[in-house]
Amino acid sequence: MYKVIAFSVLLGWALPFAAQGEVVSSANGSAASVSKRLVSFPSRPVPSAGELAQLRVPAVLSLPSNVTGPVPTVVILHGSAGMDSRGPLHAGDLNARGIATLELDMWGARGLAGGAKGRPARVHDTLPDLAGALAYLATQPGVDSHRVGVLGFSWGGVQAVLAASAPISDELQQASGVRPVALAAFYPVCWGYNRVPGYDLKHLAPARLLVLTGAKDQYDDDPSMCTTLVSSLPAEDQARAQVVVYPGAQHGFNGLEAAQEYEDPFLHRGKGGLGRSAPDPAARDASRKAVVAFFTGSLAPTAASGR
């Protein structure tokens, strides 16, 4: 919880859990008024995660102001480093287009510092956080629970891809009553699916999937890895999936933080070692626009009802 409180102070919120107005700017320069508040909700059990203790998950809920009727919402899942610039950047873009966002603080819920040594053992351990978020959104009168998406970065990207698989999507719906209809994953370590036990992507849920990665991402060490993964899906699933590879971009290319080097056992296709994350302004700007286009198209009333 301490991370969310610190995050709220950084954004200038006077009181935890109090709604505050803010003007956000999007990638195309447009601005919109947004109501932000700190919320929390209980995690929900998901069979794929096994038996885990229930947690109280803090999150930032951003609702576009001056929008009539229930709005679509995107759940934002951070990477191993925890909440950083990527969440607010993409949230602002989506809020400016009339899409609410719910950005989770999964490490704050566990008192973890983040990084390769400060995160849960498995991505599956955080699937109950997503199930809890979906159940929470179903209780919000201003949210259209039939138009919910998921956006994840790195760890959160792996989470999003798992949630796009048919079996886990079914589990999330059973746990929460909500099935995400559009999922976008930034650099989700594509080499691991259908290789590492439990990380399967053999059939897509009735949803759309967007994968965005960098050609120089050192987790995959192969710019074609995500394309190969999607190409292994049945033809009807491939029709609902898209991969975008940004030339020259490395892991974390859509953030504002300075470049950094770190060790992670999942780097270099599971061989481990040293890797690098670095911002890439061109890829960041292009991916922000791609994410907006993906969710505005996928969460439009006619698109969502067509699944």
Residue 22, pLDDT score: 63
For 281-300, what is the mean pLDDT? 98
129-140 tens-digit pLDDT: 999 999 999 999
pTM higher than the cut 0.75: yes
Say which CATH architecture domain 2-305 belongs to.
3-Layer(aba) Sandwich (3.40)
Report d(CA 235, CA 306) in Å as an integer: 19
Domain boundaries, the chain: 2-305
For 240-257, what is the mean pLDDT? 98
74-86 tens-digit pLDDT: 999 999 999 999 9
Q: Which long-range contacts (CB under 8 A, 24 or more apart) does 82-87 make?
A: 82/3, 82/107, 82/108, 82/112, 82/113, 82/114, 83/3, 83/4, 83/7, 83/107, 83/108, 84/255, 84/257, 85/255, 85/256, 85/257, 86/153, 86/186, 86/252, 86/254, 86/255, 87/60, 87/153
Is it the case that residue 283 has pLDDT exceeding 70?
yes
Residue 301, pLDDT score: 87
Residue 66, pLDDT score: 79
